[in-house]
Every structure is written in structure tokens, then in C-alpha cells.
Chains A and B, each alone.
Chain A
Amino acid sequence: MLEIKNLHVSVGDKAILKGLTLSIQPGQVHAIMGPNGSGKSTLSYVLAGRAGYDITEGSILYDGEDLAAMPPEARAAKGVFLAMQYPVEIPGVTTMTFLKTALNSQRRQRGETDIDAIGVLKLVRAKAKTLNVSEEMLKRALNVGFSGGEKKRLEILQMAIFEPKLAVLDETDSGLDIDALKLVAEGVNALRSPERAMLVITHYQRLLDYIVPDRIHVLAKGRIVAEGGKELALELEAKGYDQFVKEPA
């Protein structure tokens, strides 16, 4: 599904990722853990195609295709989804309008016909219920005045609506209290499927209590420095990231 080989990424003159290699198969959930500044968010932005994140070396294959060659909107249409750490506010654009525009933009790129307003409404309502996203929230401007929990729930709602093949969750736990975290995690778990791969990026082990990964990679200074099963998260929780961050003597 996703094959990242020796990936080097720079932002401006600054090298952030320095030879990252990672492979995810359909149906798997992988977690990337790492301290601040290790390059976690950079990885998520590179996968989604944000401008300014330049690949200087290495490759990313998605379903056998060169991901880096695709514009961001084409990646979304082909099933790449990024749940953002800081969802963006767009004043004056209702959440429902945004969802409809996004959904139909993706469909059109895939050569599918638009779903009309009523069809979108039905689809969104059905998915919104389980994530506790209210009708009122859908009528408000996108993310404007939303609480941290509401914003993250809306990200997961979008994931449920777009049904991506590869979902990247960037610090989905940040800013959430335990109840909000559980709700979001349930939403994510409900979307686990044999066809879908997920990459969960987090600083803390806490999220991984609820979204249990198949594999954990530790990212430090732009490289994967350790890999293991879910038990690795607990070890990190106990010992911290210091062992990976310290300069070798």
C-alpha cells in the first residue's frame, strides 16, 4: 500500500527527514512515535503533498504509483487522507458545504458523478451520528468556533465519509480530554478494515491504548531509530525518548 524508501525531506534549507524507510500493508495500523522536532508532522505533510516540503532523495510509492508526482488533490481522490493536527477554519463556508464540495471534487477526479445535496446530507448524517457530530455543527462555518474535541471529531467524520485507503492521523490525540479521546478512537477503530491502512502519528503512548497498532516505529532526528510491536509504546512511556535522542558519546 505504502512504500517509503530512504526519504529525505527539506523545508527551505533545513533537512528534516534524513533517510526514512517505512512499509505499510493494507489492513495494518502502524504508529509513528517520536519527540517534538523529530519530523513527525513533516512526514504527514509530505504524504499529503503540502507545498514547501521538498523531497531531496528517496521515494514514496502508493499503490505502486509515485506519490510525490501527484498534486495533493489527486492524492485525496486516490484515497490518501490526512487527519490534521490543527484543522483549519474557513469562515462563511458551512461544514456541510465543505464536505459536499470535497466529496464531489474527489468523485469527479475519479470519473464518478456528483452526489446531489440530499444524497450528501443523508450520507453525512448517517456517519455523523456515531461520532456525536450534531446537525448544528454541520451548519456552522467549517471549524469556526469549534472546540478542540469538535475539530478532531470532524476530522474523523471526514475520514468516515471519504473512505480513504490510506489514513494518516497526525497527533489526533492532542488537545483532547480522555472522554473526547475515547470517542475519537472508537471512530477510528470502527474504520479499521482489511483494505485500509492507517498511520497514527503521536507523541504520547496514551492514544495507542485505544487505537492499538500492529507495529510501532520510533522517529528521531528524521530517521526511524527503533521498531517493534505494541509493547514498544509502553517501554517508551517508561523510559522516554532520551535513549534515542542523545548524541552518541
Chain B
Amino acid sequence: MSSAAQIETQKQVAEIGDKYKYGFVTDIEMDMAPKGLSEDTVRFISAKKGEPEWMLEWRLGAFRRWLTMKEPNWARVHYPKIDYQNAYYYAAPKNAPLKQSLDEVDPKLLETYKKLGIPLHEQMALAGVAVDAVFDSVSVATTFKDKLNEAGVIFCPISEAIRDYPDLVKKYLGTVVPVTDNFFATLNSAVFSDGTFVYVPKGVRCPMELSTYFRINASETGQFERTIIIADEGSYVSYLEGCTAPKRDENQLHAAVVELVALDHAEIKYSTVQNWYPGDEEGKGGIFNFVTKRGDCRGDHSKISWTQVETGSAITWKYPSCILRGDHSVGEFYSIAIANNYQQADTGTKMIHLGANTRSRIISKGISAGKAQNTYRGLVSVYGKAKNARNYTQCDSLLIGRECGAHTVPYIESRNPTARIEHEATTSKIAEDQLFYCLARGIPQDEAVSLIVNGFCKEVLQQLPMEFAVEAQKLVGISLEGSVG
């Protein structure tokens, strides 16, 4: 770990006077939909986006369906009833039409990104990362388009894709996460306001890591982004997603949907570092994060790999999954979920083995501190035709303090006798003697906790692309500061 960088970060945190360093609000004029949710809201959003009729119909269909659905309550999370009529479903920086270059972007927005640690200009030069930054609901800046165009890669806001590539969007939208999938996904289908669209053509290895940074800025807004990534035959793409939100007393809803499709011999690597505002030390405020992420290994020999570092949100309800449809397809899930103070995390994955010789691997590291509850919930399902399916699952829980909880809820179903499924689970505590050993070597307590927890998470951190791994390591430390009394 870069200790200098860590000190720097800790200093920043101290300066802000709070443990959440992203708790600032950017003062920009916002263009908002009227409060509440109705067909009119859906029409408003669709009109704002200048969408074609088919898209509006699709949204309305979802909305009508949503009205008939009930909020799921099977997860081990507790929260006051969400009033869906008491929120804004669309908020966009005013005068935010499409920009041709970064120079046209409101300097205040760029300043915000700078505070988030993603200076676009620098990132363009240094990291070679193309960033599609979503600020509340509208993509404001997309970089590296030219280089991607050359390779034939489409990387744009989904609103743009609906306009410019309607056939591709129609072909894939809702095919992995159907409109009817679940309460939150259906809500998203009705009101999603932006998100990212990626298409990597046949045989193309995407020349750079693609990255989107999400941030909820306006108060009482939900963020409902929709992301679709399609890797055509023999292609490869790595996609990074980072999330932060400013500090607010009220809870904000985030209900995203991500759909991934990998065709024959294609590979998608999807990495998330989620650092939504977790609420304060008394559990006040924070993001409700109800996210549906699913990948479809549609082609033979395809591969989808999810890596997530979940440190934020008051509530996390998230199960990035893989449908292993193609023969010899591979699904992976690497997860770090940290819950401190009053945070509640219920997260895991589903590996659905449909094709023959499909393989899946699940590595989950849950860390609980304070009064937090952290649940791993996972399903490994082997269907009748999935001959020789293989799964390996490892769930490790680490407890810090006495008032937190760790829960592991694995579901395993096999309808094929040739399947081989392995599940390993451990629960441990940060031992007092480990801490003392670090202290006695001159390592202060918070840094010692960070070191030990980073060690515990190592197998997952190794999966992250380099630039993200450093940030993630720091986050692990920051989110657990003061957790050992």
C-alpha cells in the first residue's frame, strides 16, 4: 500500500472534518422533473431525453408492471418504508446538452470530479482510461471517443445509444434483466435517466479500460442508471465503475440495472468500487443501493467476471450474477463488502449453470464493524443439461468488535449428477494479538486495521485493474477508521 498516499487521504479526510470525504455538494442549477412518480414522470423523462416512441412505450410498460409489484423483503436488511412519491426521478445539470469536448463542460462539474479524484484531463493523459462520467442523470463528458471509434467500439451514454444505435439497443435491452425481473429493476426500466452503453465488435480487444463514474448530487433524487455492455464474438472489454454521493441527512435511492452479454469466445471484466455515502455514525442518512446486475454468457467459451468493492451505502442489496448459457462458459464473482456503523449489506451472486462444462468461481470477503450487519447470499444452480459443471465458492467473514454480525446464506441446487460444487466458509475476528503486533512495530491502530483487512481481501483486490486497486485499498482503510476502540 502506498503509505504516503494513505497519509494524504487521511489528511483530506481530517480536513473535511468527517470520515466521508466525498460529502460535498456542488452548487449547480438543476433541471428537475416534478416530485413523485406517475406516467407523467415517465413521459417527462422520455421527452427530456428526446426518445423515440418505442422507448417510451417500453418504459410505460415497465411502469404499469411496477405498479402491480411488491417491494421484496427477503433480504436481511431493515429500513423505513420508502415513499416513492416523495422523490425526484430526474435531475440534470441545467443547460447540459451534448458536449463535443471537455472544454465545453461546466468548470464546476470538472471541479467536482477533481475532488472525487478523477481529474478527466489528467486521467486522459495518464491512465489511458476513457471516462463516461454520469453526474446525476446526464452524461456530461465522454473522453477518448476518437480512439475507441477507430477500433469500432461504441462507448456512449445510453440516451445517445437509443438515438444513434436503436437496433443494437432494441436487440439487447431487457434481454438479460427482463422488464419484469424484480421490483427495483422494473422501476429502473420505467425511469432510468442515463447510463452507459458499450458495444465491442467481433474480434476486437478494447484498446483501453472503460470507466464510468457515478455521483448523486441533487438532494432527494434517485439515480437510476442503466448500463448495457455487449462483447461480440471473440472480443474483450474491461469496464470500471466508481460511485460516490454527497452527504445528506435523508436517504437516497439508487436502483441501477446492468446487463452484460458475452457472445462466443468473448470476455467481459466488470469492476465496481462503490463508495456511496453510508450514513453517519448514528445511521442517519445514506444511500439505499438496490441494484440488479447480471451477465449472460450467451456464447460458447465466453467469460464474465464481476469484481466489486462495496464500502458505502446505508443499505446494499446487490447480486451481480452470471447466466452460464454457452458451453464451456466461465463466470466469476470477486467481492469485498465492508459494513461499518449501522450499514447493512446483503450481497452475493447467482451462478446459473445451463451449458455443459461451465465453470464458476465465487470469492467473497465480508467485513463487519460497528453495529453493521453483513450478509453473503448466493445461489449456485446447475441445470440438467449442464454436464460437468464446476463451482468453487469461498466465503470469508471478518468481524471487528462485538456488536456487528456476519451471515452466510448459500443456496446450492444441482440437477446433474456430474456437477462438482465446492463451498468453503470461514468466520474470523481481527485478533487482539495481531493488532498488538502491528502497534508494537510502530504501526498506528487505524493503519494496522487497514493493513490486516487489506490482507484479508487480497485475493479480491488482486482482481482489480491497477489504478482501481490503489484507490480500493485506501477506501478499505478509510471506511473502517475508528472501528477498533
Contact = CB atoms under 8 A, between A and B. Distances in A.
Interface of A: 48-51, 71-73, 75-77, 82, 84, 86-93, 97-98, 100-106, 108-109, 114, 141, 158, 162
Given A76-B442, A101-B3, 15 more contacts: A49-B440, A50-B436, A73-B440, A88-B434, A90-B455, A91-B455, A92-B454, A93-B451, A97-B1, A102-B438, A102-B441, A106-B441, A106-B442, A108-B3, A109-B442
B146 interface: no
B452 A158 contact: no
B250 to A, nearest CB: 38
A73 B455 contact: no
Interface string B212-238: 000000000000000000000000000
A73 B1 contact: no
B126 interface: no
B138 to A, nearest CB: 41
B433 to A, nearest CB: 5
B439 A77 contact: no
A115 to B, nearest CB: 10
Given A48-B440, A158-B441, A105 B3 contact: yes
B447 interface: yes
A114 B7 CA distance: 11
B436 A104 contact: no
A8 B432 CA distance: 23
B82 interface: no
Contacts of A71: 439
Contacts of B433: 86, 88
Given A90-B455, A93-B451, A102 B439 contact: no
Contacts of A90: 434, 437-438, 451-452, 455
Given A72-B436, A90-B437, A102 B442 contact: yes
Contacts of A158: 441
13 contacts: A49-B440, A73-B442, A73-B443, A90-B452, A91-B455, A92-B458, A92-B459, A97-B451, A100-B3, A104-B3, A105-B442, A105-B443, A106-B442
A48 B7 CA distance: 25
Most central of B434, B437, B440, B456 by chain A CB within 10 Å: B440
Nearest to A47: B440
Given A101-B1, A104-B3, A108-B7, A92 B457 contact: yes
B434 A76 contact: no
Given A98-B451, A105-B3, A77 B442 contact: yes
Contacts of A89: 434
Question: 6 closest Cβ contacts across the A-B interface?
Answer: A92-B455, A76-B442, A93-B455, A106-B442, A92-B458, A102-B441
B125 interface: no
A103 B391 CA distance: 42
A102 B443 contact: yes
B483 to A, nearest CB: 16
Contacts of B452: 90, 93
A103 B437 CA distance: 14
Interface of B: 1, 3-4, 7, 431-434, 436-445, 447, 451-452, 454-459
A51 B436 contact: yes
A196 to B, nearest CB: 17
Nearest to B440: A48
Interface of A is mostly: helix
A89 B452 CA distance: 10
A18 B223 CA distance: 65
Contacts of B439: 49, 71-73, 76
Given A73-B442, A88-B437, A101 B4 contact: no
A30 B371 CA distance: 47
Nearest to B441: A102
A46 to B, nearest CB: 12
A75 B443 CA distance: 11
Contacts of A103: 442
Nearest to B431: A88
Most central of B4, B445, B454, B455 by chain A CB within 10 Å: B455
B253 to A, nearest CB: 35
A158 B4 CA distance: 21
A141 B436 contact: no
A44 to B, nearest CB: 10
Contacts of B457: 92
Nearest to B430: A90
A96 B94 CA distance: 52
Most central of A88, A89, A104 by chain B CB within 10 Å: A88
B464 to A, nearest CB: 15
A185 B455 CA distance: 31
Most central of A49, A93, A97, A104 by chain B CB within 10 Å: A93
A114 to B, nearest CB: 5
Contacts of B459: 92
Most central of A73, A87, A106, A141 by chain B CB within 10 Å: A73
A93 B444 CA distance: 16
A93 B3 contact: no
Contacts of B3: 100-101, 104-105, 108, 114
B43 to A, nearest CB: 52
A73 B444 CA distance: 6
A177 B138 CA distance: 69
A49 B435 CA distance: 12
A93 B437 CA distance: 13
Nearest to B439: A72
Nearest to A97: B1
Contacts of A162: 441-442
A141 B1 CA distance: 14
Contacts of A106: 441-442
Contacts of A49: 439-440
